[in-house]
Chain A
Amino acid sequence: MASPMTTRPRPLSPNIQIYRPQLTSVLSILNRITGIILSGCAVVLVVWLVAAAWGPHAYAPVQAAIASWIGRIVLFGATFAFFLHLCGGIRHLVWDTVHGFELRSIYISGWTVVVAGVVLTVAAWVAGALMGG
């Protein structure tokens, strides 16, 4: 009974490239991309901790790489990825409580994630600069 149904090619949903990008879909994709970027950042965190535990001679080149211009640009991007994933994750946790699914709410929370991500990233770097970075 199952075989004629399961062997027939199933209809596929249209490919993602057909759709016009919307805030909802772009934020969904960004949450995944930032998650992958932050996985790389987690590796850097461990390298940094292991270097610190190893001693000053191992810590110095890692610290120099982070403090370099390329290091700072990467760290700035990582900060933005972190705050976007954090805010997007909190938005998902709210959805898990079955709240905020109306189209209007989804757009309000979506733009809140974008604005909060930018504001928190800038605030973090201003704070870092004020601390003497």
Chain B
Amino acid sequence: MDPQNMQNMRTPLARAIGLGSAKEGVGAWWAERVSAVALVPLTLWFAASIIAHTGSDYATFIVWLRTPLTAIPLILLLVALFYHTALGLQVVIEDYVHSGIKFAAVIAMRLGCGALATAGVVATLRVAFSG
């Protein structure tokens, strides 16, 4: 603990509520579980699909990717996957990064996850809607 923080007039309760650990932890806990439950069928479907396409060429793979029954679960997978990844990596960063870059690292990681999820969804839609 930074001794300077102990000098201020705020009560320990006010500090705890203000810092958010007593406020939003339950939401993050639930989000991690809900995304985990969603990822069980989505990742198993994806793994089975990839195994089924072992040795397939580009054209065969694109035909598979183009059908709605592939594109829809794949987009759901990307959203749930990067949501779950962001929640997990945030805990890892908060556990091991204690310097001033902790906040910046969490923001950069979240932006990265958002950008990667968007890129994956756009790539999937581009293939799905290509003639």
Contacts and interface: CB of A to CB of B under 8 A. Distances in A.
Interface of A: 2-3, 6-7, 32, 35-36, 38-39, 42-43, 45-46, 49-50, 52-53, 56, 59-60, 63, 79, 82, 86, 89-90, 92-93, 96, 124, 127-129, 131-133
Interface size, B (range): 35 or more
B43 A35 contact: no
B47 A42 contact: no
A6 B47 contact: no
A71 B81 CA distance: 22
A93 B32 CA distance: 10
B10 to A, nearest CB: 10
Looking at chain B's contact residues, is the secondary structure mostly helix, strand, loop, or mixed? helix
Nearest to A3: B6
Given A2-B12, A6-B6, A131-B51, 19 more contacts: A3-B6, A32-B92, A35-B85, A35-B88, A38-B85, A46-B116, A46-B120, A49-B119, A52-B127, A53-B122, A53-B126, A56-B58, A86-B40, A86-B43, A93-B33, A93-B36, A128-B54, A129-B54, A132-B54
A82 B47 contact: yes
A42 B58 contact: no
A36 B89 contact: yes
A60 B11 CA distance: 61
A43 to B, nearest CB: 6
A22 to B, nearest CB: 20
Interface in B101-131: 116-117, 119-120, 122-124, 126-127
B13 to A, nearest CB: 10
Nearest to B53: A131
B40 A39 contact: no
B55 interface: yes
